[in-house]
Amino acid sequence: MKKLLTPRRPDPLTRKRPDPLRALVAVPAIVFATISFTWITTPDVRPLRRENPATTAFMELRADEARAARAPVRKSQRWVSYENISPHLRQAVLLAEDAAFFQHDGVDYSEVRAALNDTIEKGEPLRGASTLTQQLAKNLYLSPSHNPYRKVSELLITRRLEAELTKRRIFELYLNLVEWGDGIWGAEAASRAYFGIPAADLSPEQAALLAGALINPRRYSPAQPNARLLSRKAIILKKMGK
């Protein structure tokens, strides 16, 4: 009768340990592969040179939210050319959201560093440092999610927008597509909804209210400004020299 052999357990001292060098090489490779795949699958933005999009990812998201809540789907949006948007509003939005818009390449690195320094040195929550181009990329194609992969997608789309479109066109798209309240999209719809006038006729005070509300357009109403929005209006007007 043959004796049954008991399998020998591996000696923990001789067991093969993970290779730290292999792990160090694997991480950058995974990151590179992820970025490469995201870059390849980013949308083609070249049609935006001349075409005005009929909808955006944010518009569809709000419509889905309304349907889920069994609420009416509201959408008010009128496209107007860059020239038919008040220069007061253009100036106010730049000062409120991205003063260096015409100088940076889509990412304002000085603003990112300032935001990180405030968080590290003062313990403040990390404030937004997104440029107008980054906001447009998010509004057009993405979601409000803050996960890292979504942020990578936003940055890559931002680079494509900056490479394929002029600054003026990017700004025109932004002003016509940005959310300005519940179901209110773009400067023309916002101007008519809150003040009953075309975007071309906005005064500096009205423009400052609209620009100030962009910090949270579903919370702050230019038609019924609260104390914080009035404070932002005053700051923007001061920067405008008004």
What is the per-residue pLDDT across 48-88, written as a single tens digit (0 to 9) for each? 999 999 999 999 999 999 999 999 999 999 999 999 999 99
Question: 99 lies in which domain range?
Answer: 81-240
pTM of the predicted structure, to 2 decimals:
0.80
Cα 163 from Cα 96, distance rounded (Å): 24
The answer to whether residue 71 is domain-embedded is no
What mean pLDDT, rounded, does the chain reach? Answer: 85
Query: Under 8 Å CB-to-CB from 224, ≥6 apart: which residues?
Result: none
What is the model's pLDDT at position 127? 43
What is the model's pLDDT at position 126? 44
Give per-residue pLDDT as tens, 99-131.
999 999 988 777 666 655 555 555 544 445 699
The answer to whether residue 66 is domain-embedded is no
Region of poorest pLDDT, from 21-25, 158-162, 237-241: 21-25
Residue 64: other Cβ atoms inside 10 A:
11
Cα 38 from Cα 123, distance rounded (Å): 33
What is the model's pLDDT at position 110? 73
Q: Tell me what the mean pLDDT of segment 171-188 comes to.
A: 98
Q: 216: exposed, middle or buried (C-beta count within 10 Å: 0-12, 13-18, 19+)?
A: exposed
The answer to whether residue 93 is domain-embedded is yes
Region of poorest pLDDT, from 2-16, 61-75, 109-123, 159-173: 2-16
149 or 101: which leads in pLDDT: 101
The answer to whether residue 189 is domain-embedded is yes
Q: Are 107 and 155 in contact (CB under 8 A)?
A: yes
Total number of domains constituting the chain: 1
What is the model's pLDDT at position 147? 81
The answer to whether residue 68 is domain-embedded is no
